[in-house]
Amino acid sequence: MRYPQGGGLTAERQQFREELRLKAAERFARGEASSVIAKDLRVSVRSVQRWRQMWDKDGPR
């Protein structure tokens, strides 16, 4: 089941997740591998892959 706003996260957790996504985007620009980014940020590789797909499509936001 999908949640309409922020995946059921509190506002603080949403902000934390957004900060992680932005850190990952900086590393995408440097060409780092998704697996390395995921390990360093302590998130799943799949999350990083989704963020990278969004970044590739829409660029840094």
pLDDT in tens, 13-53: 889 999 999 999 999 999 999 999 999 999 999 999 999 99
Q: What is the mean pLDDT of the chain?
A: 87
**Whole-structure pTM value:** 0.79
Quick check: is 4 in a domain? Answer: no
Residue 59's pLDDT band (cuts 50, 70, 90):
confident
- Whether the predicted pLDDT of 5 surpasses 80: no
d(CA 14, CA 8): 9
Quick check: is 2 in a domain? Answer: no
Query: What domain range is 28 assigned to?
Result: 9-58
Cβ-contact 60, 25 below 8 angstroms = yes
pLDDT (average), residues 5-9: 69
Element (H, E) at 18: helix 11-29
Structure tokens at 41: 């940020």
Quick check: is 3 in a domain? Answer: no
How many domains is the chain partitioned into structurally?
A: 1
